[in-house]
Amino acid sequence: MHANSKKIKIEFQDSSGKKIKIEFNGNTTGQEVQRIYDFLCDSPVLQNDSGLDVEERDTKFQKFSDIIIKHFPIGEFTSSDALLIAQEVLGEQIKHALISTYLMRLVDRGQLNRKWSSAGWVYSLIKKTIIQQ
C-alpha cells in the first residue's frame, strides 16, 4: 500500500450475533462509502435483524423520492434541477453528491430512467402501466 493510501474498516454486529466486516484499502471516496451504506440499508439481513428502524433511516431518501414524483411527473430533469427543488421543499442545504446518490438509487430500483445528453445526465420518471380488466 502507498504512503498516501487510506484504509477504512467498518465492523458491526447485528442482534443475532452475526458479525459484518467491510474494509476499504487505497484511496476511497465518500461516494463509495455511501453506496456501501445504501446497499446495507436495503439488505434484508439488516432490515430484519439489526434492530435499526428502517423507516427512520430512509426518511430523507423517501422524502426525496416523493419530491421527484411530485415535481417531475413528466419530462426530463438534471441532478441540479433535483437539488434546487429538494433544497426549496426541505428548506435545508443538501450536498450535490447526496442528490446524485439518491438519483442512482432510484435508477437502480427501476423508478427513474437515466441518459446522457449535452446537458449531462438527465433523468425521467418511469411510468408504470396499469392494466385494468
pLDDT digits (tens, 9 = 90+) for 77-106: 999 999 999 999 999 999 999 999 999 999
pLDDT digits (tens, 9 = 90+) for 100-129: 999 999 998 889 999 998 888 999 998 764
Torsion over CA: 82, 83, 87, 90 (sign) = positive
Domain covering 58-125, topology: Arc Repressor Mutant, subunit A (1.10.10)
Kind plus residue range of the DSSP H or E element containing 102: helix 96-108
Q: In whole angstroms, what is the distance from residue 64 CA to residue 103 CA?
A: 9
Taking the domains of the chain in order of start, what are their residue ranges?
7-52, 58-125
**Rounded to two decimals, what is the model's pTM?**
0.56
